Structure 1
């Protein structure tokens, strides 16, 4: 029986990636993927100087978000000839930064002198933008001497603002869409790009379906020429992962046509890579499922089905847990989380984790111990402590036992591994042991005949184990002569044993009836003595006997 907990669907894995991605797109410090209309929040750390590159960019973005373009223009080294366009240049620079840079304030120097480790003592680089000529062009800040010291965008950066701005949002679109669609919408994405995303989604689904169907037909023709059937089964189960992979392959070039801004494009690229990872781990889970099914079927063919139903699902669950953990770590790394630091932190806090998960680990190792020692198997009738029933499932944490009342008792594996387990399924033969209590009216000759005939009945049975057949008088009780009957029968089927015992008991009754004997039952004789009196018959008559 497979555990529903580990039947992961692509929707579960997609939700996992989305849950990881949500903090990424809302926290600007996470992998430089902060999305949103608002710029990164101001850094309130006291170590950040108000005359540093970080403070300059922070103030520029704050003024731009407030619509104070004249104030924002103070942070631009605008040539004298363009002083009249300073506000326009500030507005365009803000659009360029939103569209072309995944800006992270924490990457900028908080010091007055800026970042001097790169050898540039008078300037700091904010980022790099790909120019129309295909070359990288730096966005730089320069320090302006004076009191107080100020940092502004360099004149070279300002001279490139118009060219960068004209290249935003696919220039070929500007000549073909209304001006109202060239305005920025949510997440700094132009409205025409939002419309393009809405059109791209159904196109993406259709293209992924066509690509997946085409490649699958090719693989079907290849697998149909093989002798084995496992490849057709594998191809059928990998249909979902294959389509998801095809969607991820088609998504990246399709969305690149929209020329989205750097933050959104970076996130979508990470998300498409996440879809590839989902398809990969989904495929691995499907392969585990197929291999588990084939192992169980092969075990049934070789007569080891019970053992396979115990070990194979347990091994499959372990593999699913391992794949899920690896998928989680890979997804965290994909979205910029420091997996190495996380693992190191788990190592440092291993004692606390071990204490908190002590019972869980105990039950996990208990399941390993039960499987390794082959203490019980699925389908066995067992008695563990006060619980007796058939084993239905051996999971990673507990074992399910269905009792004779048809209720299910789940016993933790840690406790089960330490408990006394009586397994009825491992019996090689079954014991018949009973007492025949005969009445005292049975003669000695009849007792001998009864004993011999009962033993003969047992030895004549085809299922009897001939090494031990005992029929003996063992006691004289208050009301019976006790004859003890002991025999083994070579069967492990409890229902068959019940039929054998039933037939033999009827034969025992027949033997007793043939010899005029019967089963004794508790009885008591009471003597009632009356006081003697002369009475009508005179003295000397015996007392009345009442039975």
Structure 2
């Protein structure tokens, strides 16, 4: 039986299967070979003298193909591809052989192997691990055909797929039911599932193709299912590998939890993994003959509709990317936006969370925040102290002159004040006071230190005003 199966397999090598999707090429080849053996065993074949040899076909005037008399089957020279120049049964044989066999199937088969019909015998063969006694003991009700395949083989194949899925699902649940201390460990455990699928697919292929020996239309369906599952597992594994690489980068950089760089890296890796997965699955779809370009066109139209539906979310995501590229603020920085101030707590994919001065948590959509005027106080090189003090009208010009000299001297010698930008000026009488304007820069960008410096300056000014014998107006500080 194995020798007979080998003959059918070798016969497939004489077929031009270049137009058949690679994923189902083996099954189609074996099926067509069986039909050809059935046809050649029922018709009168031409004598070898009537068959053109290689030399006559190599002449320039010779035709590129030869039709077997009494049949629509042609042997043609392959014009391109890895088998260029060889003579094979033409690609049209895949469609012509089943039709011709249907027309002559009532003619007895000439065979010394005890085979009534090759196309039926091929479907009933099994591999070495299934004893002949087992296959012969199968009830007649299961010997009928579904999709050109014995019913018992269809059921056995489906059971094989279901059993493999249950084993992998159980393993997946057992590995992922306990929480992981690290995100990398969680992703590594997740990666074991697609790896298990990739290990299981060749095992299923061996059992289904060589032991159960599934052929016919159902064999094509089984080949298609295995190819789609395998390529989907590769796409899933690629996504997980990219996520693991990104987590390693984040761990190496020691970014704070909730940092926007961290989230954007994850989004980028996830998007890249999805694109790579789609490309891999698309390659698998093309391998089994699915209309890939039509599917891509349909996804493009559907993607446009989805994009319109989620436009606000996309705007916020783009706003988040702009915040990342421009970096006007970062986590932990104190800023002003609109009429509010606060400290940036996190910059997410859709919103930025800011802890307000009153300790409330403010969530601002990224698209809105990206369009607002942001004042980042954390990036000040210096911080402005701008104050007006009001003196009573009884204050004499000489007292004011002495006070200005003392205040300027005190400020110029202060270690936390920039000396080159000191401005202390008498601005003249106001409605209820004589005003002195003080405009100086504290050498800090920390708010706590800024208020400490400001406090120290004002206390020293109080001492100088008191020492000069001057009194403040009712509204002395503005």
TM-score of the two chains, using structure 1 as the length reference: 0.52
For 1:478, what is the secondary structure of its paired residue? coil
Is contact 2:235–2:278 with CA below 8 Å preserved after alignment? no
What is the match of residue 318 of structure 1? 268
In 2, Cα distance between equivalents of 1:339 and 1:249: 26
In 1, Cα distance between equivalents of 2:168 and 2:269: 33
Query: Would you say 1:244 and 2:198 are equivalent positions?
Result: no
Check 1:241–1:347 CA distance in 2 against 1; reply closer, same or farther (3 A cut): closer
What residue ranges of structure 2 are gaps of 5+ in the alignment? 1-20, 25-37, 42-64, 75-92, 110-114, 176-182
Deviations 1:282-319 (A, max 9, x none): 1122112322443x33xx8xxxx99x955565455334
Deviations 1:106-146 (A, max 9, x none): xxxxxxxxxxx996896699xxxxxxxxxxx98943469xx
For 2:330, what is the secondary structure of its paired residue? coil
Note the C-alpha offset of 1:176: 4.3
Is contact 1:379–1:392 with CA below 8 Å preserved after alignment? yes
For 2:421, what is the secondary structure of its paired residue? strand
In 2, Cα distance between equivalents of 1:256 and 1:398: 52
Report the count of equivalent residues. 369
Query: Would you say 1:474 and 2:431 are equivalent positions?
Result: no
In 2, Cα distance between equivalents of 1:183 and 1:268: 24
Task: Specify which of 335, 339, 362 is matched with residue 408 of structure 1.
Answer: 362
What is the match of residue 93 of structure 1? none
Query: Would you say 1:331 and 2:281 are equivalent positions?
Result: yes
Task: Specify which of 148, 166, 185 is matched with residue 124 of structure 2.
Answer: 166
Is contact 1:292–1:313 with CA below 8 Å preserved after alignment? no
What is the match of residue 486 of structure 1? 439
What is the match of residue 141 of structure 1? 98
In 2, Cα distance between equivalents of 1:486 and 1:397: 41
Is contact 1:436–1:482 with CA below 8 Å preserved after alignment? yes
Note the C-alpha offset of 1:358: 7.4
Task: Specify which of 377, 387, 407 is matched with residue 454 of structure 1.
Answer: 407
Check 1:345–1:251 CA distance in 2 against 1; reply closer, same or farther (3 A cut): closer
Check 1:238–1:492 CA distance in 2 against 1; reply closer, same or farther (3 A cut): same
Is contact 1:474–1:482 with CA below 8 Å preserved after alignment? yes
Is contact 1:429–1:490 with CA below 8 Å preserved after alignment? yes
Is contact 1:470–1:486 with CA below 8 Å preserved after alignment? yes
For 2:422, what is the secondary structure of its paired residue? strand
Q: How does 1:79-478 map to 2 (within 5 A)?
A: 140-142=97-99, 159-167=117-125, 172=130, 175-176=133-134, 179=138, 183=142, 191=155, 200=164, 238=188, 240-241=190-191, 244-254=194-204, 256-258=206-208, 259=212, 262=219, 263-294=221-252, 296-297=253-254, 313-314=263-264, 316-336=266-286, 337-343=290-296, 369-386=322-339, 388-394=341-347, 399-405=352-358, 406-413=360-367, 416-478=369-431
Check 1:164–1:254 CA distance in 2 against 1; reply closer, same or farther (3 A cut): closer
Note the C-alpha offset of 1:202: 6.7
Is contact 1:204–1:251 with CA below 8 Å preserved after alignment? no
Deviations 1:208-252 (A, max 9, x none): 99xx9xxxxxxxxxxxxxxxxxxxx98996454256324422442
For 2:232, what is the secondary structure of its paired residue? helix
Deviations 1:497-522 (A, max 9, x none): 11221233233333334444443226
CA root-mean-square deviation: 5.3
What residue ranges of structure 1 are gaps of 5+ in the alignment? 1-29, 34-75, 80-116, 126-136, 145-149, 213-232, 524-547
For 1:335, what is the secondary structure of its paired residue? helix
Deviations 1:172-227 (A, max 9, x none): 25634874698489996655556655655576689999xx9xxxxxxxxxxxxxxx
In 2, Cα distance between equivalents of 1:434 and 1:280: 62
For 2:247, what is the secondary structure of its paired residue? helix
What is the match of residue 464 of structure 2? 511
Is contact 2:355–2:361 with CA below 8 Å preserved after alignment? yes
